[in-house]
Amino acid sequence: MGGEGVTRVQRLDPAPVEEYRGTFAPHLPRLEPGDPLPPGWEGLYFPFDSGMGGLRPDGTPLDDVLPEIDLPRRMYAGEDTVFLRPLRVGDTVEQRVRAGRVEEKRGKSGRLVFADIEREYLVDGEPAVRSTWHDVFLEENAPAPPPRYAEPEGERFHRTTPDTRHLFRFSAITFNTHRVHYDREWARGAEGLEDLLVHGPLTRLLMLDAVVFGDGREPRGTPSRYGFTATAPLFVDREITVGVTDGGESARAVAVADDGRLAARATVHW
Number of domains in the chain: 1
What is the model's pTM?
0.92
Alpha helix segments (H runs only) across the chain = 14-24, 164-174, 184-189, 200-212
In a domain, 181, yes or no: yes
pLDDT at 3 over 60: no
In a domain, 174, yes or no: yes
Could you tell me whether strands 240-246 and 250-257 are parallel, antiparallel, or unpaired per DSSP bridges? antiparallel
CATH number, domain of 179, equals 3.10.129.10
In a domain, 77, yes or no: yes
Q: Which domain holds residue 213?
A: 6-269
In a domain, 92, yes or no: yes
Per-residue pLDDT tens for 126-168?
999 999 999 999 988 777 777 788 778 899 999 999 999 999 9
In a domain, 135, yes or no: yes
In a domain, 85, yes or no: yes
In a domain, 74, yes or no: yes
| pLDDT at position 1 | 43
Between CA 154 and CA 150 the distance in angstroms is 12
- Tell me the average pLDDT across 173-181: 96
In a domain, 1, yes or no: no
- Tell me the average pLDDT across 58-76: 88
